[in-house]
Structure 1
Amino acid sequence: MISFVKGPLSEILEDMVVIESGSVGYELHVPVSVLQKLPDIGVEVKLYTYFQVREDAMCLYGFLSRQDLGMFKQLISVNGIGPKVALGVLSAIEPDELRRAIVSGDAKAISKAPGIGAKTAQRMILDLKDKIETSDILPPEFLQEKKEKNSGLSGAAGEAVDALTALGYSASEAGRAVGRVVVTDSMTAEDVLKASLKHLAFI
């Protein structure tokens, strides 16, 4: 198994890159989101990989983080989605946006990706919504910040508001979304956040 490829960036092609490692040039298929973040030719880059073996070909797929590689693996675990379609999805939708769309059940946003119809989008949500952790959709700086914020709410609801604002929603949007959730004592901040995300499509 090839876990990652690291070396100078040799070529950038339409949907793949070539990385030189150990005097060998490795072709890696990558989504557009990776192409947009690559350094200049000759600069060292590290891509985490998925190695696909078929009867007629062997292909490497590359991603800038293990988290994004994990998203790719989750996509191809869905019935009817192969590596090529998964790459198209991650080219059309940033991985973080895709995770939020899956958690919030936003099939309309997912179906904008090439090769993904409404039924496939719903299947993707059904198969993956419980596999995506809250930590996967929140920015690292938020997760590292432990101090309480003044959101005007307390407990799980307050943490959910803070999480939504960290995701880029305004304080008013976050407050209204959380306000639509019937928060019980048994609910964690993660429960409230996931429920709130489902209401944001209607705000």
Structure 2
Amino acid sequence: MIAYLKGTLEYAGVDSLIMEVNGVGYKLAVPSSTISRLPTIGNEFKIYTYLQVREDEMSLYGFISKEELNIFEKLITVSGIGPKGALNVLSTLSPKDVYMAIISEDIKSLTTVSGIGKKTAQRIILELKDKIGAVVEMDVDEFKTSSFEANSIVEDALFALTSLGYKRAEAMKVIREVYSEGMDVESIVKGSLKKLATL
């Protein structure tokens, strides 16, 4: 199983991308909402993956965050919702919106997704409400924390600091204090080390 890929972006379409990893080009189907969150062509990034294997083909699906991957894996267990349907859901709604729609039985929100009618929305709620109960009990701050940690740049900076011997909780606290939109891994690590040295 391929858990994630890390490489350079070679092409980005409406709902798919091609990335090069160690000289191999991988084509991934992605939620259309993912495209605007990708780096520019030629830059490195990390993407979480789901591999679907059939008798005659293999399909690879990509997700910027673990939350997206988790809800995708749950959605495809619903009767009548295949990978394409699950991608449509994530192209329209954020993982948090999907969780909240299911737990609050908000059929109206789910039917804003192309291809999802009232009966399908009801089936999604019926089949997933119990499965995601523990997840949606997270409050908004906890959800934001998990989303922040799922940021690939933050993840790489966190890995670098923990590799240097710092505790994960301590490193994440400092990263949160120094991080600002647009920073690269090196800048985050340098800023974090400077702050850690004063503690």
Question: TM class, shorter-chain normalised?
Answer: 0.5 to 0.7
Structure-2 residue corresponding to 1:79 = 79
How far apart, in 2, do the equivalents of 1:89 and 1:56 lie? 26
How far apart, in 1, do the equivalents of 2:121 and 2:42 lie? 39
Moved over 4 A (4+): 141-144
List runs of 5+ in structure 1 lacking aligned partners: 145-203
How far apart, in 1, do the equivalents of 2:113 and 2:57 lie? 25
How far apart, in 2, do the equivalents of 1:102 and 1:141 lie? 16
How far apart, in 1, do the equivalents of 2:12 and 2:21 lie? 15
Structure-2 residue corresponding to 1:134 = 136
How far apart, in 1, do the equivalents of 2:143 and 2:77 lie? 30
Deviation at 1:134, TM superposition (A): 2.8
Structure-1 residue corresponding to 2:49 = 49
How does the TM-score come out when normalised to structure 1? 0.66
How far apart, in 1, do the equivalents of 2:137 and 2:57 lie? 36
- RMSD, aligned α-carbons: 1.9
Structure-1 residue corresponding to 2:112 = 112
How far apart, in 2, do the equivalents of 1:136 and 1:80 lie? 28
Deviation at 1:3, TM superposition (A): 0.8
Deviation at 1:111, TM superposition (A): 1.2
**Mapped contact 2:100–2:136 kept (Cα < 8 A):** no
How far apart, in 2, do the equivalents of 1:96 and 1:141 lie? 8
**CA deviation string 1:89-121 (max 9, x = no partner):** 111212221111111110111011111110110
How far apart, in 2, do the equivalents of 1:127 and 1:137 lie? 23
How far apart, in 2, do the equivalents of 1:44 and 1:17 lie? 13
How much identity, in percent, do the aligned residues show? Answer: 49
How does the TM-score come out when normalised to structure 2? 0.67
Change (3 A) 1:36 1:124: same
Structure-2 residue corresponding to 1:167 = none
Higher helix share: 2
**Mapped contact 1:8–1:42 kept (Cα < 8 A):** yes
How far apart, in 2, do the equivalents of 1:141 and 1:127 lie? 22
Q: Which amino acid aligns with 1:110?
A: L
List runs of 5+ in structure 2 lacking aligned partners: 147-199
